[in-house]
Amino acid sequence: MRDPDPDCLFCRIVAGEIPSDRVYEDDEVICFRDINPQAPTHVLAIPRRHIPDARGLSNGDGPLLERLFGVLRDIADAEGLDGGYRMVTNVGPDAGQTVFHLHFHLLGGRSMRWPPG
């Protein structure tokens, strides 16, 4: 589904119906701080368009992904994450996805373990 979903939390954040601490926005993408941060820097990057998860991406979304990854790189630079950081997207309940609007987590500012839980 690609239209705004009135029941989708992140569509409501895109629409400004729910406030968020935005760190970046343009015509395709918005980025805001996670309400329950798991690291000193925890930013979510989302397309404005409602895509439930990464399985909903198609070949035509290449430019969108380029935008999302480039914006996350710039935010990581601005946050001084010179030692590295993690970018992750959860796909479906088994992966821990709780909001079904595609988003990439940017986590940094502490050392990370692998594998994730």
| The entry of ligand 5GP, Zn ion, none that residue 34 binds, CB within 5 to 8 Å by partner kind | ligand 5GP
Task: Scan for tokens 């935008």, then name that residue.
Answer: 67
Per partner kind, with CB cut-offs from 5 to 8 A, the member of ligand 5GP, Zn ion, none near residue 16 is: none
Is 103 an active-site residue?
yes
Distance CA 97, CA 84 (A): 23
Interface pick for ligand 5GP out of 34, 48, 67, 79 (rule CB under 6 A): 34
Report the C-alpha gap between 70 and 26 in whole angstroms: 12
Residue 99 in contact with residue 9, Cβ under 8 Å? yes
Distances (CA, A) of 29 to 70, 82, 96: 11, 24, 23
By CB under 6 A, residue 7 contacts ligand 5GP: no
Q: Which stretch binds ligand 5GP (CB under 6 A): 27-35, 55-63, 65-73, 107-115?
A: 27-35
Asked whether position 55 contacts ligand 5GP by CB under 6 A, the answer is no
What is the token pair recorded at 80? 């001084």
Give me the active site residues, please.
Answer: 103
Residue numbers at the binding site for ligand 5GP (CB under 6 A): 9, 18, 20, 32, 34-36, 90, 96-99
